[in-house]
A and B are shown apart, each in its own frame.
Chain A
Amino acid sequence: MTALPVEPANLAGTGTDVGSAPPARPKGGAGDVRKGGWFPRIAVLVVVVLWVIPTLGVLVTSFRPEELADSTGWWTAFGHVFDGGQWTLQNYRDALDAGGFQNAFLNSLAVAVPATIIPITIAAFAAYAFSWMDFRGRYVMFVGVVGLMVVPLQMALIPILRLYTRGASIGGWTLFPDFDLSGSYLGVWLAHTAFGLPLAVYLLRNYIGSLPSEIIESARMDGADHFTIFWRLVVPLSVPALAAFAIFQFLWVWNDLLIAYIFLGGTRDTRVLTIALANLVGSRGENWHLLTSAAFISMALPLAVFFALQRYFVRGLTAGAVKG
């Protein structure tokens, strides 16, 4: 393919647009006046500490033996940091030994990856259309999408499950064929896609809609059709938003229990990690030692994913990614 008429690099200098323009900022060097100062540092530190303490409590408790975890506050462990009797890996061993985790982990992965990619793709196309294409019903449809964010998923589960197991028909007319999707991965992916779409479309539309109209316009004047503009221009520019949403969706799907349980199953073969962990822990939750280690096990992958991808959006767009 030949080069596009407008390189992303040309975006620098479109400062007249007051709406949030994407990559346009050269990062300052050593003389950057904005950095530094004690107030931001203190404030950030305070907030971070407040935020982290609850999780810290869980982390510490997960390494403490059962009797201690149940009878003394976790902060007391700091008084005996080097005392061997204070710490143990037994909780993690118990949690992992309970078995079936490898299977459950793989199942979770098989559910989460497509259930992230599919909604993002679909939402990106729709968001682009809502932003830059003119067609009848776009307001109504978009507002409908926003409104659908409020639908509590529990209300949707029974109707959807029925559709999966029996299909739907009115008076002999098949509205929805009986695909027998219950228990299949496809069924779970579609369900997750449906629940993730409203927010995805909403967020992505906001981002894509705020891209400078000049770029789109000049591409159109050069004769590019919408698909090309979308695929070759808008998508690369939207990587931060797409990455951000990908993480949200991945985390949400990975941590989900109900949808995977209802649509995929809870038996030893089909269950995902969240179910395996919930089963370990039970609902009479006062076994803090198990609860906490299970919680951390379930956090491991999402945290890894988050740290791996955070540079795409936590830092915003840095110089070097964009010329000029």
Chain B
Amino acid sequence: MTAIDEPAAEPEQAPTAPGPAPAPAPRRGLPPALRAAGVVAVLAAAVALLWLTFGFLRDADANRFVLVGVAITVGAAGVFFLYWAMNWAVDALPERFREGVRPYVFVGPAMVILAVFLVYPVINTILISLGDAQGEGFVGLDNYRFVFTDSSMLRAIRNTAGWIIIVPLVGVSVGLAFAALTDRLRRGEAVAKSLIFLPMAISFVGAAVVWRLVYSFRPEGFGTNIGLLNGIKSGLGMSPTPWLQQDPWNNLLLMVIMIWMQTGFAMVVLSAAIKSVPDEIIEAARIDGASEFQVFRRIVVPSIAPTIAVVTTYMIINAMKVFDIVFVIGDPRTNKTEVIAERMIQWFFISNNDGRGGAIAVVLFLAIIPVMVWNVRRFREQEVVR
């Protein structure tokens, strides 16, 4: 047995006793009575501590700094202990079950949380979508019929299709190109990348402010235009345009906002991937006389294909779900910039029609199936290669 095996060996002791109390020295020679008493003492102390902690966290008069410190410690430490404990429990199992059960311990907490917090709402939503405006009863597929016949919904579907195509395409392309180009800079790489990533650090409220200031429109007579685009137009002697109300600018300019915010993410992830491509291959290609661009296209890109796929998937899904940008900047209905998620919120919360809102959400869920299928195939291919 090598050194690594030691921890695995110890828990053989476990099934016979709940474990020695940590307060006294962890020797196996302690009498069982003392051990049991120790465990009870620890349990009692820990329960009391946690009781107090949770109560304390809820007390609004507590000193804020202490509150924050406790919240952070308890929150972070709690998780570590959870995994430790579960793994310990697995080690305590008989040998033949151990490795069969262990994977489930690893994915267990994630699956449980997702099941409660995401899967349950999805099921709830599906049930609601078959109901009336209160989400009760059963109206069959009426709500779905609405989704595919209402003019505003059809426009939303068309617009969303635009978002799904344009935003990932531009975002990933720019991110990839930028990651590759900054890699070639002698200096300033970190600064350049940080500046592109900056928009991700800006809250959505902040981003809305930023871009409203760019697109701001005041008709003549209502004051000078303080928006950048109209400022440029005024400077050139042209009259200002209500950008957000004109086809096709209305949709495109909103997409620009999302591209601005999300490209940093793509760039960062792709950059890490680019830097991991082994040098030997690149050098070999160079020696063979390939130009930089050819190296990039034929060596680097295929090597990082999985990462490109991951980033693209994420951006597609984000584009599918876009809501804030469309909802907060301009009026989606008057400007004809509706998208699926925005319609969902509109029907569910503002028009109080749970049935329709739910149906729109379900359509959104279904729309992701092709993406999922693609990912499964890739996942399997990767496994085969390995």
Question: Does chain A touch chain B in the assembled complex, meaning CB atoms less than 8 Å apart?
Answer: yes
Residues facing A in B134-176 (CB within 8 A) are 174
**Residue from the set B117, B183, B198 with the largest chain A CB neighbour count within 10 Å:** B117
Asked if B198 and A316 sit within 8 Å, CB to CB, the answer is no
Would you call A73 and B224 a contact (CB within 8 A)?
yes
Contact assessment for B279 and A47 in the assembled complex, using a CB-CB cutoff below 8 Å = no
The docked-state distance in angstroms from the alpha carbon of A206 to that of B183 is 22
Q: How far is the CB of B237 from chain A (nearest CB, A)?
A: 15
Report whether B210 and A55 are in contact in the complex, using a CB–CB cutoff of 8 Å.
yes
Answer whether A113 and B76 are a contact pair too, CB < 8 Å, given A74-B213, A156-B118.
yes
Q: Which residue of A lies closest to B90 (CB)?
A: A227
Which residue of A128, A134, A244, A285 is within 8 Å of B268 (Cβ)?
Answer: A244
A184 near B212: Cβ-Cβ < 8 Å: no
When distances are taken between beta carbons in the complex, the residues of chain A under 8 Å from B228 are: 53-54, 57, 73, 75
**Is A199 located at the chain interface by the 8 A CB criterion?**
yes
- Quick check: B272 and A241 within 8 Å, CB to CB? yes
**Chain B residues in 8 Å Cβ range of A254:** 203
* Size category, B interface: 35 or more
Residues of A contacting B380 with CB < 8 Å?
139
Binary interface profile of B, 352-373, with partner A (CB < 8 Å = 1, else 0)? 0000001001001101110110
Q: Is the CB of A147 within 8 A of B113?
A: no
Chain A hits for B349, CB < 8 A:
154
Q: Is there an interface contact between B71 and A117, defined as CB atoms closer than 8 Å?
A: no
User: Which residue of B117, B260, B368 is within 8 Å of A54 (Cβ)?
Assistant: B260
Would A24 and B303 count as touching, CB distance under 8 A?
A: no
Cβ contact within 8 Å between A155 and B344: yes
| Closest CB in chain A relative to B91 CB, distance in Å | 8
Q: Which of A70-96 contact B (CB under 8 A)?
A: 70-75
* Cβ A148 vs Cβ B75 within 8 A: no
* A255 to B231 CA separation, bound complex (whole angstroms): 30
Chain A neighbourhood of B195, CB < 8 A: 48, 51-52
When distances are taken between beta carbons in the complex, the residues of chain A under 8 Å from B217 are none
Chain A residues positioned under 8 Å from B109 (CB to CB): 122, 125-126
Are the CB atoms of A270 and B60 closer together than 8 Å? yes
Name the interface residues of A305-322: CB closer than 8 Å to any CB of B.
305-307, 310-311, 313-317
Q: How many residues of A contact B (CB 8 A)?
A: 152
Given contacts A150-B320, A314-B268, contact A206 B306 (CB under 8 A): yes
Give the nearest-CB partner of A160 in chain B. Answer: B117
**A165 within 8 A of partner (CB):** no
Contact B276 A226 (CB under 8 A): no
Report how far A87 CA is from B263 CA in the complex, Å: 32
Contact (Cβ within 8 A) B182 A40 = yes
Within 8 A of A (CB), among B92-126: 98-100, 102-104, 106-107, 109-111, 113-114, 116-122, 124-125
In whole angstroms, what is the CA distance A176 to B116 when docked? Answer: 9
Interface residues of A in 150-185 (CB under 8 A from B): 150-152, 154-156, 158-160, 163, 176, 183-185
Cα–Cα, bound, A314→B226 (Å): 35
**8 A Cβ contacts from B1-21 to A:** 1-5, 7-8
Residue of B nearest to A151 (CB): B118
Shortest Cβ gap from B334 to chain A (Å): 17
- Is A128's CB under 8 angstroms from B106's CB? yes
Q: A110-B71, A113-B75, A295-B209 are in contact. Are A72 and B189 (CB under 8 A)?
A: no
Bound-complex Cα distance A20 to B185 (A): 22
Q: Are A118's CB and B79's CB within 8 A?
A: yes
CB within 8 Å for A126 and B106 given contacts A35-B186, A41-B185, A152-B364: yes
A25:B116 contact, CB within 8 angstroms? no
Q: Which of A19, A199, A295 contacts B385 (CB 8 A)?
A: A19
Cβ–Cβ < 8 Å partners of A106 in chain B: 64-65, 67-68
Whole-angstrom CA separation of A315 from B372 in the bound complex: 31
Which residues between 174 and 204 of chain B lie within 8 Å of chain A, taking CB atoms?
A: 174, 177-178, 181-186, 188-190, 192-204
Q: Is the CB of A47 within 8 A of B201?
A: no
Of residues 268 through 316 on chain B, the ones whose CB sits less than 8 Å from some CB of chain A are 268-269, 271-281, 286, 292, 302-304, 306-307, 310, 313-314
A197 B275 Cβ-Cβ under 8 A: no
> Smallest CB–CB gap between A294 and chain B, Å?
8
| B303 and A139 within 8 A (CB) | no
User: With the chains together, A84 CA to B365 CA distance in Å?
Assistant: 55
**Interchain CB contact (< 8 A) of B273 among A20, A133, A151:** A20
Contact: A152 with B323, CB < 8 Å?
yes
Cα of A111 to Cα of B83 in the assembled complex, Å? 21
In the complex the two chains form, is A73's CB within 8 Å of B226's CB? Answer: yes
B241 within 8 A of A: no
B24 within 8 A of A: no
Task: Answer whether residue A63 sits at the interface, using C-beta atoms and an 8 A cutoff.
Answer: no
> CB distance A20 to B307 under 8 Å?
yes
Give the residues from 318 to 344 in chain B that come closer than 8 angstroms, CB to CB, to chain A: 320-321, 323, 341, 344
B124 near A19 with CB under 8 A, answer: no
- B50 CB to closest chain A CB (Å) equals 11
Bound-state CA distance A44–B202 (Å) is 21
Whole-angstrom CA separation of A203 from B266 in the bound complex:
12
Neighbouring A residues of B203 by C-beta, 8 Å: 254-255, 257, 274, 295, 298-299, 302
Known: A24-B279, A227-B102, A257-B203. 15 other contacts (CB 8 A): A5-B2, A19-B306, A20-B307, A57-B210, A129-B107, A141-B111, A154-B349, A186-B75, A248-B265, A281-B205, A292-B209, A314-B189, A315-B190, A316-B272, A317-B275
Q: 9 closest pairs, A vs B, by CB?
A: A114-B75, A2-B3, A316-B275, A194-B117, A255-B203, A295-B206, A129-B106, A135-B103, A156-B121
27 residue pairs bridging A and B, Cβ less than 8 Å apart: A5-B4, A20-B276, A20-B304, A24-B276, A25-B276, A25-B277, A36-B186, A73-B225, A106-B68, A114-B74, A115-B75, A125-B106, A125-B107, A125-B109, A133-B106, A139-B376, A139-B379, A147-B368, A152-B344, A154-B349, A155-B348, A155-B361, A185-B71, A225-B98, A255-B202, A314-B193, A316-B274
